Amino acid sequence: MSDIYPVNPEFAAHARIDRAAYERDYRASVDDPDAFWGRAAQRLDWFRAPTRVRDVSFALEDFRIRWFDDGELNASVNCLDRHLATRGDRTALIWEADSPETAPRHVSYRELHERVCRLGNALRALGVEKGDRVTIYLPMIVEAAVAMLACARIGAVHSVVFGGFAPNSIADRVSDCASKLIITADEGLRGGRKVPLKANVDAALKLPGTSTVETVLVVRHTGAAVDMQMPRDRWYDAVVDPQPAECEAERMNAEDPLFILYTSGSTGKPKGVLHTTGGYLLYASYTHEAVFDLREDDVYWCTADVGWVTGHSYIVYGPLANGATSLMFEGVPNYPDYSRFWQVIDRHKVTIFYTAPTAIRALMREGEGPVKATSRASLRLLGSVGEPINPEAWRWYFDVVGDSRCPIVDTWWQTETGGILISPLPGAIDLKPGSATLPFFGVQPALVDAAGQLLEGATEGNLVILDSWPGQMRTVYGDHQRFIDTYFKAYPGMYFTGDGCRRDADGYYWITGRVDDVINVSGHRIGTAEVESALVSHPKVAEAAVVGFPHDIKGQGIYAYVTLVAGEAESDELLKELVAHVRREIGPIASPDFLQWAPGLPKTRSGKIMRRILRKIAENAPDQLGDTSTLADPSVVDSLVRHRHGA
């Protein structure tokens, strides 16, 4: 049914891991995880090497996930100090600006170490102590990586908030973890447009729950004039530049928190996914090396933003722990034109390129011209992440971008997993367009039916993972019970991913998408509940229901049904106002693509909104509505179908 792209023999000849090695090591990793991961842990530098490998139980009555828990290390030492003797002059980060006219910057490991040390000292001088939380709200500039590593150096827990989030979302995240300090910039730049980062922080800090913030460090980036509220606000360079260039690194236990990253779930506010130091760093670096078949001379580029987990694991921690050269791009794929990605590849001789299906689909729509105008001869490996890649986009990526020469690693993972769980190893595993293929070492995926029965062979079901891996999240910050309830209650003894999945006769995994109330918009997770609560916070809205629908470029789009309070009139003006309201409340990524007035919503007699029906209407599949007889008022469905957006 599907075609197979066998391992490229030329690629395999130089690859780190071939098929036999994959099979042998995978076996070893699940037969004796203690021995396997104990050996793997030697890739990190430890102040005190761990003697214990894992202490794990997914059982509800005796729940624990601990890895290397008598080991001590520091993540920034692993990403910086240990490279200085052998590769201090090697480029750690290449910074490519939003505009091609702005000169790129190369930051060596030595320089990065120095900058991280100065900021680490500055943070300590400002009273930040081990265990304190620091919020980072920065554009894609070198200081973002410096800030993360400086926190890691002094044992502060960073929480990076994506620069596209609005003041409300910043405030929620700051207050949930009681941040003491925020690092931001005057403005960001994306596609020639300015993002008022400092002004957003100012607005966020006027909101309740944010009074824990004592200091805001402001990086001068665009040079725009911003309000500085003294003594709270301090210019980054004024505070950081005078600091000493050496900063003693905190000895961290492997299970000490490294960072919190907020992600949307099916209910309530975003969860603070907490990752710890040893297991996370080990897993990020190991997967980065193996999945991307990392070589000494690679120039590696992941186009994600550091505001998402992909940026954490595969721009900063994985590549830098491996001593690699990692490119940070401030801009967007279509500015100043649709050749931008490929021009950057040629400019810096990028060898490994890792991006998202939504970007590929958007670029594919522009045709081959902008790609073929560039050489891309340096490329040897391509990667995809964030959502299922449709086979058509996969083939275009392979044939047009990679000139049919470069394997594609379709990497499935989640904020919660810390690193890649299912992906081809490019020298080992035959590719099938649209499949993330086989599990990484130590990862035991399985499919279950709704009742939690394990399903064997070629079949489809809910994707679970049967045992822990070092990069697994450890808790939801401040709410351990929510962690257990969200991931380990549905199927006792297993980690539930929230994804549906098919397994074919070769044992390959094909992720089919979320099975919960999470929408994947351009590879970003949006909780339907968050968009609904933003809509309902508008005084004219009585009720709202939000669902995903298939979208050509974004993968999924956001479709909102809105019921107004009695007496309010539906109008195009109000519709625009409500979309703008959601942007203001959450951020542009949560803007509904369509908004439909709903005089009534389909509800069961007990008052539960039947989203299944709303999804079918949004998909324009009114013939698949299924049984509507259990609804309190079946007639609302006909009315919604008749007035569907675009009907």
- At 602, give phi and psi (nearest 5°): -70, 120
The window from 72-80, 101-109, 195-203, 378-386 that contacts ligand WT7 (CB under 6 A) reads: 378-386
The window from 31-39, 206-214, 477-485, 492-500 that contacts ligand WT7 (CB under 6 A) reads: 492-500
With respect to ligand WT7, which residue has the nearer C-beta, 355 or 563?
355
Q: How far is the CB of 411 from ligand WT7 (least distance, A)?
A: 5
Q: How far is the CB of 557 from ligand WT7 (least distance, A)?
A: 15
Strands (E), 186-289: 188-190, 193-195, 215-219, 233-235, 252-253, 257-263, 271-276
Tell me the binding residues: 190-193, 310, 334, 386-388, 410-415, 499, 514, 522, 525, 536, 538, 541, 583
The window from 37-45, 200-208, 246-254, 513-521 that contacts ligand WT7 (CB under 6 A) reads: 513-521
- Is residue 556 close enough to count as binding ligand WT7 by CB under 6 A? no
- Is residue 215 close enough to count as binding ligand WT7 by CB under 6 A? no
- Is residue 503 close enough to count as binding ligand WT7 by CB under 6 A? no
- Is residue 413 close enough to count as binding ligand WT7 by CB under 6 A? yes
- Is residue 210 close enough to count as binding ligand WT7 by CB under 6 A? no
Which H, E and C letters describe 325-347, residue by residue?
EEEEECCCCCCCCCCHHHHHHHH
Number of H helices, E strands in the chain: 22, 31
H-assigned helices in 537-571: none
- Binding mask 392-411 toward ligand WT7 (x if CB under 6 A, else -) reads ------------------xx
The answer to whether residues 382 and 408 touch, using CB atoms and an 8 Å cutoff, is: yes
Which one, of 289, 320, 315, 370, lies nearest residue 74 by Cα?
320
- Per-residue buried b or exposed e for 464-503, using 16+ beta carbons within 10 Å of the residue's own CB: bbbbbbbbbbbbbbeeeebbeebbbebbeebbbbbbbbbb
Burial class of residue 175 in the structure, from the number of CB atoms within 10 Å of its CB (0-12 exposed, 13-18 middle, 19+ buried): middle
Task: Determine the Cα–Cα distance for residues 205 and 3; give it in Å rounded to an integer.
Answer: 54
Task: Determine the Cα–Cα distance for residues 327 and 304; give it in Å rounded to an integer.
Answer: 10
- Is residue 514 close enough to count as binding ligand WT7 by CB under 6 A? yes
- Is residue 521 close enough to count as binding ligand WT7 by CB under 6 A? no
Residues paired with residue 31 on neighbouring β-strands, in sequence order: none
The window from 29-37, 158-166, 510-518, 626-634 that contacts ligand WT7 (CB under 6 A) reads: 510-518
Tokens found for residue 109: 């490991």
Supply angle C-alpha 10, 13, 19, rounded to 5.
Answer: 110
- Is residue 511 close enough to count as binding ligand WT7 by CB under 6 A? yes
Task: Determine the Cα–Cα distance for residues 406 and 392; give it in Å rounded to an integer.
Answer: 16
- Is residue 289 close enough to count as binding ligand WT7 by CB under 6 A? no
| CB-based closest residue to ligand WT7 | 415
Tell me the binding residues for ATP: 386-388, 410-415, 499, 514, 525
- Is residue 528 close enough to count as binding ligand WT7 by CB under 6 A? no
Q: Quickly count: other Cβ atoms within 10 Å of residue 524's Cβ.
A: 24
Tell me the binding residues for CoA: 190-193, 310, 334, 522, 583
Task: Determine the Cα–Cα distance for residues 529 and 545; give it in Å rounded to an integer.
Answer: 8
The window from 207-215, 337-345, 385-393, 560-568 that contacts ligand WT7 (CB under 6 A) reads: 385-393
- Binding mask 426-465 toward ligand WT7 (x if CB under 6 A, else -) reads ----------x-----------------------------
User: DSSP secondary-structure letter at 498?
Assistant: E
With respect to ligand WT7, which residue has the nearer C-beta, 323 or 471?
471
Task: Determine the Cα–Cα distance for residues 373 and 294; give it in Å rounded to an integer.
Answer: 28
Contacting ligand WT7 within 252-271 (CB under 6 A): 263
Q: How far is the CB of 403 from ligand WT7 (least distance, A)?
A: 22
Which H, E and C letters describe 418-430, residue by residue?
CCCCECCCCCCCC
- Is residue 385 close enough to count as binding ligand WT7 by CB under 6 A? yes
Task: Determine the Cα–Cα distance for residues 269 and 482; give it in Å rounded to an integer.
Answer: 12
Task: Determine the Cα–Cα distance for residues 231 and 239; give it in Å rounded to an integer.
Answer: 12
Of residues 163, 164, 470, 498, which one binds ligand WT7 by CB under 6 A? 498
Task: Determine the Cα–Cα distance for residues 116 and 245; give it in Å rounded to an integer.
Answer: 8
Of residues 120, 279, 318, 388, which one binds ligand WT7 by CB under 6 A? 388
With respect to ligand WT7, which residue has the nearer C-beta, 321 or 595?
321
With respect to ligand WT7, which residue has the nearer C-beta, 191 or 513?
513
With respect to ligand WT7, which residue has the nearer C-beta, 36 or 413?
413
The window from 3-11, 31-39, 277-285, 384-392 that contacts ligand WT7 (CB under 6 A) reads: 384-392
Q: How far is the CB of 422 from ligand WT7 (least distance, A)?
A: 8
Site for ligand WT7, rule CB under 6 A: 263, 308-310, 384-388, 410-415, 436, 497-499, 511, 513-514, 520, 523, 525
